[in-house]
Structure 1
């Protein structure tokens, strides 16, 4: 299934496009505070953001990858991105999201994660969804708990760069 356009009260979740690269780089992939808790590393150039976007755009029709840009309905500003990817190691979809710093702690994480979860459970038919956040990113954990994810424990993992980190893992079980 092609990545669909979804809507919440304040946000349009839409497929990412290559022409989003400069905005994404400026708004969050180049921000050390955003990258700090992500599995990807800080982007040092817009070319790194383009490289990542190429993967996302190439997978727009892949039923195991759903990635959206989060666009404010009111202004059209692109404020974050996230999605769901099927993880063979977990045998389920995994949820993820990130936002530019000025939109932290305003309920956007809960709003878009709830919409993505609704899509993957009710449209795709997932029975369980995996979630994780880096230890110390308590706000992301609060979002998962609010949406009904159950904390499973902490595990050692790696960022894409190979840097070791501790991740808190959660499972959501569809009702």
Structure 2
């Protein structure tokens, strides 16, 4: 595994770059405080901007690690921050990681996340040298399932009642793609 850290990735419409502390306001405004974005994650929207400011500051400090891979998605046309994507829970000995992403609702339905995830998977397999990237999807998140399938991920099973949120247990579906199966 190549310990290269988070480098800039350009796609047709987006630039994926490291998060900097000053990004917190736009990130908070565009997705972190929104229920419609956070409903399919094990956490709730962050209503207190000062708490989110600290969270973003901590993410920015994590870049000191060469196995930390976390990007903010910047829309090239107007430089607006529209989402985030990562390769998290990296297991070096197994050459694998998870991926997770969020996107501002005004950019939904335009195949942006498919474009971005394809680029991150290419980085994972060709640059970092990972063999497997996996993702969890909350029950009901049909749009994310479509993104994962378009990017070559395969359904592997259900983790029943894996998370507890807002008074109920939630199932998650597991998807993954292997380096040998990855096609753009």
Q: Same fold (TM over 0.5)?
A: yes
Is 1:168 the equivalent of 2:173? yes
CA contact (8 A) 2:118 2:151 kept: yes
SS in 1 for 2:36: helix
Measured at CA, do residues 129 and 11 of structure 1 come closer, stay the same or move farther in structure 2, by a change above 3 Å? same
CA contact (8 A) 1:159 1:165 kept: yes
Is 1:138 the equivalent of 2:138? no
Is 1:158 the equivalent of 2:160? no
Instruction: Report the Cα distance in structure 1 between the residues aligned to 2:164 and 2:88, rounded to whole angstroms.
Output: 16
Kindly report which structure 2 residues correspond to 1:113-132, keeping only aligned pairs within 5 A, or say none.
Answer: 113-132=117-136
Measured at CA, do residues 2 and 159 of structure 1 come closer, stay the same or move farther in structure 2, by a change above 3 Å? farther
CA contact (8 A) 2:9 2:119 kept: yes
SS in 1 for 2:63: coil
Is 1:54 the equivalent of 2:57? yes
Over the residues paired in the alignment, what is the CA RMSD in angstroms? Answer: 2.0
The answer for the alignment partner of 1:82 in structure 2 is 85
Instruction: Report the Cα distance in structure 2 between the residues aligned to 1:40 and 1:81, rounded to whole angstroms.
Output: 15
Instruction: Report the Cα distance in structure 2 between the residues aligned to 1:72 and 1:143, rounded to whole angstroms.
Output: 18
SS in 2 for 1:3: coil
Measured at CA, do residues 161 and 62 of structure 1 come closer, stay the same or move farther in structure 2, by a change above 3 Å? farther
Q: Which runs of 5+ in 1 are unaligned?
A: none
Structure with greater helix share of residues: 2
Is 1:105 the equivalent of 2:113? no
Q: Which runs of 5+ in 2 are unaligned?
A: none
